[in-house]
C-alpha cells in the first residue's frame, strides 16, 4: 500500500522564515537582538508590533529558537543564528516544544487564562534554557487580564521570557508597554518583496514575469504574508503550457481587477485634455475588463502623486518603469503648476472616498472624474478673494489641453442680503432648506456677521462637513458668493442657547412670584411646565 501524498502547504506557511537571515525588511531589529544576545543584555519581555504579515509571530518564534538553541553538538548558547538542527530548534519550529507556549489572546482574553500563566512561571523549564510564552494579538486581553499579568511581567523568574505580538499597539496599556522592549516591524518595501517572490517562484519551479511580481508586491502593501497569498492565487490562475506554469502581468491584473499603468496614463491624459466623451468611454472600457472603479481612482491618484514628485525634483524612477511612463510624467510636470496639481489631488481624493462608499461605484467614479475635469477651470482662492472685494480676477490657470476660464464678473452688491443672522436663517426656511436652517439655529455661534462674510464657531454637535454644505447653499439662497470661515475667537451664543436661557429666566421669575410660591408650597409634587402657546406656563400636579 503506497503512502498517501503530503497535503499541499500554502506558500505563506511553506516560506515562513526559519532563521533571522530569511526575515526580510527588519534589519534594524535583527541587529539590535544580535547585539543584545552577544552582550548578554536580554530583556525579560519583548513586544513586536506592526501591520499584518510583516513577521511578528515569526520573529517571536525565532527569538525562542535563538534563546534556546544548544547547537549541533549540544554545547551552544544563545545565538542570533540558531542552528535549526538541534532538538530545541526543531521542536520549536514544529510547535511541539513543551517549554515554548503559544497563546492566541483573541480567544483567551480573560483573567483565568492569564492566571494559568502566572501559576506556571514559578516552575523551571523542563528541557529548555528558557520557558517562553508567546502571546499573539496581546491587545485583545481584557483590562483585568492585563492587570493580573503586570506584577509577573515586571519581575518574572530568570528562566521566563515573554514575547508579545500585536497589530494595534495603541490598545496595549502603557503599564505593559513600559515593561517590554518594543520592536516596531516596518512595512516591507515593494522592491524587496518582489525580489523575495522571485526566489519563491524559482523554488516552486514556476515562471513569472517581473512586472507580475511587481504588481503582486504593490498589492501586498508591505505584507509578506498577503503577497505570498496573492502569489499562491496567481500561480493557480496561471495557464499551464508545455513546461512550467507562467504567471503574467496581464493575468495578475485580471485576477486583482487592476488597471494597467498605460491605460491609467491614457485616462489621465484624456482628463487633462478635457475630452469628456473619450474619458467616459475609457472608464467604461476598463470597467468591462474587470477593473474595479476604486482601483481606477487609486491608480489615477498614484499617477498625480508621481507627477507632483517629479515636479518637486524627486527622482522616482524604478527598475520596472518604462521610458514611456518616465517621459509622460516629465511632460506633465513641466506643463502643470503646483496649484492645479494640488487641486487635482484633492478632487480625486474626495472622489475616491465617494466611490468607496457609493451604492453605484462606476457611476460615482464617472461623476467624480467629470467634476475633476470641469473644476479645473475654477478660479484660485486668491481670485475668489478679489471677487468678494469687488475686483475682477484674472482667468484661472487651465490644465493642459483645456481652455482657460473666462474672467469672472464682479459680484453683485450685498445691500439686499439678510441684515442679521436670524434673517439669514429665515431665508433658508423660505427656500426649503430646513435642515441647514435648524443646524445654524442650534449649533452655530456668530463671531462676525458682515454679509457676504460669515465667521462662526460651531458647537460640538455641529456636523464636520457643515462648511462644505453651507457655502453652495448660501449662494443658492442669496444669489451671492460668501466667504465662510470657522474661527476660534469669542462667539455669540447660538440662537437655541439664547432661547433656552430666556426660557430659564422666565421660569425662574414666575417661580419667584408670591402666588406661584404659595401654590408650590401647598402642592410639593407640582411642576411648572411650558405650554405649546408662546410664553405660556401652567402648573401640573
Please give the share of the chain, as a percent, with pLDDT higher than 70.
Answer: 84
Average of per-residue pLDDT across 313-321: 67
> In angstroms, rounded to a whole number, what is the distance separating the alpha carbons of residues 132 and 123?
12
Q: Contact at 8 Å (CB) between 138 and 165?
A: yes
Last residue of a domain, one of 167, 184, 201: 184
Please report whether residue 390 resides in a domain: no
pLDDT tens digits, one per residue of 422-466? 989 888 888 888 888 888 889 999 988 888 888 888 888 888 778
Query: pLDDT at position 392, please?
Result: 47
Query: pLDDT at position 241, please?
Result: 56
Claim to verify: residue 144 and residue 276 sit in the same structural domain: no
Claim to verify: residue 178 and residue 74 sit in the same structural domain: yes
Query: pLDDT at position 366, please?
Result: 93
> In angstroms, rounded to a whole number, what is the distance separating the alpha carbons of residues 444 and 456?
6
> In angstroms, rounded to a whole number, what is the distance separating the alpha carbons of residues 306 and 318?
12
Which of these ranges, 47-51, 252-256, 266-270, 528-532, has the smallest mean pLDDT? 528-532
Beta bridge partners of 131: 160
The closest of 115, 449, 396, 400 to 271, measured between CA atoms, is 400
Q: Residue 287 corresponds to which cell in the numbers above?
A: 470597467
b/e per residue, 244-264, with b = 16+ CB within 10 A?
ebbbbbebbbebbbbbbbebb
Choose between 535 and 227: higher pLDDT: 227
pLDDT tens digits, one per residue of 139-182? 999 989 898 888 888 888 888 999 999 988 999 999 999 989 99
Claim to verify: residue 369 and residue 480 sit in the same structural domain: no
pLDDT at 526 over 70: no
Please report whether residue 21 resides in a domain: yes
Choose between 523 and 203: higher pLDDT: 203
Query: pLDDT at position 134, please?
Result: 92
Claim to verify: residue 34 and residue 137 sit in the same structural domain: yes
Please report whether residue 29 resides in a domain: yes
pLDDT band at 406 (very low <50, low <70, confident <90, very high): very low
CATH number at residue 221: 1.10.8.60
pLDDT at 285 over 70: yes
Query: pLDDT at position 1, please?
Result: 43
Query: pLDDT at position 164, please?
Result: 93
Q: Calculate ∠ Cα 339-345-347, nearest 5°.
A: 100
pLDDT at 411 over 50: no
Claim to verify: residue 447 and residue 471 sit in the same structural domain: yes
Claim to verify: residue 137 and residue 225 sit in the same structural domain: no
Query: Which residue matches cell numbers 496573492?
Result: 230
Q: Which domain holds residue 464?
A: 421-486
Please report whether residue 176 resides in a domain: yes
pLDDT at 364 over 90: yes
Last residue of a domain, one of 152, 184, 216: 184
pLDDT band at 381 (very low <50, low <70, confident <90, very high): low
pLDDT at 396 over 70: no
Q: For 131, phi and psi rounded to 5 degrees?
A: -90, 125
Choose between 459 and 324: higher pLDDT: 459
Please report whether residue 2 resides in a domain: no
CATH number at residue 285: 1.20.272.10
Claim to verify: residue 325 and residue 436 sit in the same structural domain: no
pLDDT band at 409 (very low <50, low <70, confident <90, very high): very low
Last residue of a domain, one of 316, 345, 375: 375
Query: pLDDT at position 261, please?
Result: 75
> In angstroms, rounded to a whole number, what is the distance separating the alpha carbons of residues 450 and 417?
10
Please report whether residue 453 resides in a domain: yes
- Sequential DSSP letters for 477-527: HHSS--EEEE--S--PPPHHHHHHHHHHHHHHHHHTSHHHHHHHHH-TT-E
Rounded to the nearest angstrom, the gap between the alpha carbon of residue 105 and the centroid of all alpha carbons in its chain is 24
Number of domains in the chain: 5
Query: pLDDT at position 352, please?
Result: 93
Please report whether residue 398 resides in a domain: no
Claim to verify: residue 233 and residue 150 sit in the same structural domain: no
Average of per-residue pLDDT across 257-279: 83
Average of per-residue pLDDT across 56-64: 90
The answer to whether the pTM exceeds 0.85 is no
The closest of 69, 50, 55 to 24, measured between CA atoms, is 55
Please report whether residue 219 resides in a domain: yes
Choose between 339 and 352: higher pLDDT: 352
Who's near 228: CB < 8 A, 6+ residues apart?
10, 11, 12, 15, 197, 200
Claim to verify: residue 435 and residue 287 sit in the same structural domain: no
> In angstroms, rounded to a whole number, what is the distance separating the alpha carbons of residues 227 and 513?
78
DSSP tag of 111: H
Claim to verify: residue 238 and residue 289 sit in the same structural domain: no
CATH number at residue 60: 3.40.50.300
The closest of 367, 378, 396, 401 to 268, measured between CA atoms, is 401
Average of per-residue pLDDT across 509-533: 67
Claim to verify: residue 142 and residue 64 sit in the same structural domain: yes
pLDDT band at 4 (very low <50, low <70, confident <90, very high): low
Which of these ranges, 150-154, 215-219, 221-225, 506-510, has the smallest mean pLDDT? 506-510
Claim to verify: residue 459 and residue 506 sit in the same structural domain: no
pLDDT at 479 over 70: yes
Query: Which residue matches cell numbers 478679489?
Result: 386
pLDDT tens digits, one per residue of 234-249? 888 876 655 677 888 8
Query: pLDDT at position 407, please?
Result: 46
Which of these ranges, 110-119, 224-233, 309-318, 392-401, has the smallest mean pLDDT? 392-401
Query: pLDDT at position 399, please?
Result: 62
Amino acid at each position: 500500500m503506497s503512502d498517501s501524498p503530503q497535503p499541499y502547504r500554502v506558500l505563506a506557511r511553506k516560506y515562513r522564515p526559519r532563521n533571522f537571515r530569511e526575515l526580510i525588511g527588519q534589519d534594524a531589529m535583527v541587529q539590535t537582538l544580535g547585539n543584545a544576545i552577544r552582550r548578554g543584555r536580554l530583556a525579560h519581555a519583548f513586544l513586536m508590533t506592526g501591520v499584518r504579515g510583516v513577521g511578528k509571530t515569526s520573529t517571536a518564534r525565532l527569538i525562542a529558537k535563538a534563546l534556546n538553541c544548544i547547537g549541533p553538538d549540544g554545547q551552544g548558547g544563545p545565538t542570533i543564528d540558531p542552528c535549526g538542527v538541534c532538538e530545541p530548534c526543531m521542536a520549536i519550529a514544529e510547535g511541539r516544544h513543551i517549554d515554548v507556549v503559544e497563546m492566541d489572546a483573541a480567544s483567551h482574553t480573560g483573567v483565568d487564562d492569564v492566571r494559568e500563566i502566572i501559576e506556571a512561571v514559578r516552575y523551571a523549564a523542563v528541557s529548555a534554557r528558557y520557558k517562553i510564552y508567546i502571546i499573539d494579538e496581546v491587545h485583545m486581553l481584557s483590562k483585568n487580564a492585563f492587570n493580573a499579568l503586570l506584577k509577573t511581567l515586571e519581575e518574572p523568574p530568570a528562566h521566563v521570557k515573554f514575547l508579545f505580538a500585536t497589530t494595534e499597539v495603541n490598545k496595549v496599556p502603557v503599564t505593559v508597554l513600559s515593561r517590554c522592549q518594543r520592536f516596531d516591524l516596518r512595512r516591507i518595501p515593494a522592491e524587496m518583496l518582489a525580489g523575495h517572490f522571485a526566489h519563491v517562484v524559482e523554488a516552486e519551479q514556476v515562471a513569472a514575469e517581473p512586472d507580475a511580481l511587481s504588481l503582486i508586491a504593490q498589492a501586498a502593501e508591505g505584507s509578506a504574508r498577503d503577497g505570498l497569498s496573492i502569489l499562491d492565487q496567481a500561480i493557480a490562475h496561471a495557464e499551464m503550457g508545455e513546461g512550467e506554469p507562467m504567471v503574467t502581468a496581464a493575468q495578475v491584473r485580471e485576477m486583482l481587477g487592476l488597471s494597467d499603468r498605460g491605460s491609467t496614463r491614457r485616462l489621465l491624459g484624456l482628463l487633462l485634455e478635457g475630452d469628456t466623451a473619450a474619458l467616459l468611454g475609457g472608464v467604461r472600457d476598463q470597467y468591462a475588463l474587470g477593473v474595479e472603479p476604486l482601483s481606477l481612482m487609486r491608480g489615477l491618484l498614484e499617477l498625480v502623486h508621481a507627477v507632483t514628485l517629479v515636479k518637486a525634483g524627486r527622482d522616482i524612477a524604478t527598475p520596472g518603469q518604462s521610458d514611456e511612463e518616465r517621459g509622460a510624467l516629465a511632460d506633465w510636470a513641466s506643463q502643470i503648476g503646483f496649484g492645479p496639481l494640488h487641486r487635482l489631488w484633492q478632487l480625486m481624493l474626495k472622489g475616491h472616498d465617494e466611490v468607496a462608499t457609493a451604492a453605484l461605484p462606476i457611476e460615482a467614479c464617472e461623476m467624480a472624474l467629470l467634476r475633476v475635469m470641469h473644476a479645473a477651470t475654477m478660479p484660485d482662492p486668491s481670485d475668489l478673494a478679489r471677487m468678494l472685494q469687488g475686483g475682477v480676477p484674472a482667468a484661472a490657470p487651465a490644465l493642459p489641453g483645456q481652455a482657460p476660464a473666462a474672467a469672472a464678473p464682479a459680484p453683485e452688491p450685498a445691500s439686499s442680503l439678510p441684515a442679521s443672522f436670524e434673517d439669514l436663517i429665515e431665508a433658508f426656511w423660505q427656500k426649503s432648506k430646513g435642515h441647514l436652517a435648524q443646524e445654524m439655529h442650534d449649533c452655530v455661534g456668530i463671531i462676525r456677521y458682515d454679509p457676504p462674510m460669515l465667521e462662526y464657531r460651531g458647537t460640538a454637535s455641529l456636523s464636520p462637513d457643515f462648511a462644505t454644505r453651507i457655502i453652495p447653499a448660501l449662494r443658492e439662497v442669496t444669489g451671492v458668493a460668501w466667504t465662510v470661515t470657522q474661527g476660534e475667537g469669542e462667539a455669540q451664543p447660538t440662537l437655541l442657547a439664547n432661547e433656552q436661557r430666556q426660557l430659564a429666566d422666565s421660569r425662574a421669575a414666575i417661580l419667584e412670584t408670591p402666588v406661584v410660591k404659595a401654590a408650590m408650597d401647598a402642592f410639593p409634587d407640582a411642576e411648572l411646565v411650558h405650554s405649546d402657546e408662546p410664553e405660556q406656563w401652567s402648573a401640573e400636579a
